[in-house]
Amino acid sequence: MSESPTTPQRRALVVGATGIVGQAVARRLVEEGWETYGLSRSGTSPHPDVRPVRADLGDADGLAEALADVRPDFVAITAWTRMETEAENIRVNGGAVRDLLAALSPGGSVRHVALMTGLKHYLGPFEAYGKGEMPDTPFHEDEPRLPYPNFYYAQEDELFAAAERHGFTWSVHRSHTVFGFATGNAMNMVATLCAYASLCRETGRPFVFPGSEQQWNGLTDVTDADLLAEQMTWAASTPAGQDEAFNTANGDVFRWRWLWPQVAAWFDLEWEGYADAPRTLDDSMADAEPVWRRLAADHGLVEADLSRVASWWHSDADLGREMEVVTDMNKSRTAGFSATRDTRAAFFDYAQRYRDARIIP
């Protein structure tokens, strides 16, 4: 009796593999048995079983050379570059999607591309964030685009055009604030709040909520990076998940006035809630760099550069919103993706991972 032929191993490429979402996607693909490549500017690998690819998304020729022999079945795009204006965001980030997919097209191997975007799809770009008329919450995927230039729209259009040309399927994943594990990431709320709490404890300051009254009292949701990774890999292998855009949130809602005291207790801190006006992290932590360097030396932390752990501006932007931000997950559930995460448990799981990795004391 002859043996059945061996099933070829599936091959994936994670773009932005060292980022907060890219690391989660790469880990999940490895766990699911994919031969996994991870593209980053540094050329480092987030996992021993992820093959590093060093390339800059802004260098079309370099991308083509670096990816010539990769030939992935599945591509997960989790990277973007923040520029000074939205016009530059569109040029750089839309161009990156276009050049990446062009670099992969000669091999003809790509079957599915998953693109991570976010809720600026509904809220508007940085230059018009939360201004003008916006859709009612919870946000639904079939809302029309806002009348502002937006690099998420440009990325989508490049994805749709390439899919039409080359015959692969696609999915778009619109995440909210991402909870995850990474350093050197520009948008990392868990690491930012953990660094803030550590600095408050070191200096004897109370753990002050930095945001708006709306965010303190109102309902909100967030996205666990592992859940986003799970949704991306699900879409790659499930017909109902293909050629569709999906919101990606944990499935629960919470109020910061509920979670904030629990975070303070985890760090053994006194806390203060909203009072009269936002008290931003950018202002309160303006003098924190030398304190963090001392903390890092005293506790043997692996990252003495506070800017690689905390992104004050991003957490200020999310926690300072003056509008409700909640997403609808029914489209995803109807298509068959019903996974959820407990936001409170996720926060403290990642906080413990940062402590165990000696990123925070």
**138: confidence class by pLDDT, cuts 50, 70, 90:** very high
Q: What is the pLDDT of residue 6?
A: 54
- Measure the CA–CA gap between 67 and 107, rounded to whole angstroms: 10
**pTM to 2 decimal places:** 0.94
- Please check the confidence at residue 5 and state whether its pLDDT lies above 70: no
Tens of pLDDT along 72-127?
999 999 999 989 999 999 999 999 999 999 999 988 899 999 999 999 999 998 78
Tens of pLDDT along 328-351?
999 999 999 999 999 999 999 999
Catalytic residue among 120, 274, 350, 354: 120
Tens of pLDDT along 233-268?
999 999 999 999 999 999 999 999 999 999 999 999
- Measure the CA–CA gap between 282 and 312, rounded to whole angstroms: 5
- Please check the confidence at residue 7 and state whether its pLDDT lies above 70: no
For residue 120, indicate whether it is catalytic: yes
For residue 354, indicate whether it is catalytic: no
Question: DSSP letter at 275?
Answer: B
Q: Which residues of 128-158 are buried (b: 16+ CB within 10 A; e: fewer)?
A: beeeeebeebbbebeeeebeebbbbbbbbeb
Q: What is the pLDDT of residue 2?
A: 41
When computed from its CA atoms, the radius of gyration of the chain, rounded to whole angstroms, is 21
Catalytic residue among 152, 153, 196, 354: 152
**4: confidence class by pLDDT, cuts 50, 70, 90:** very low
Q: Which residue has the tokens 């109102």?
A: 218
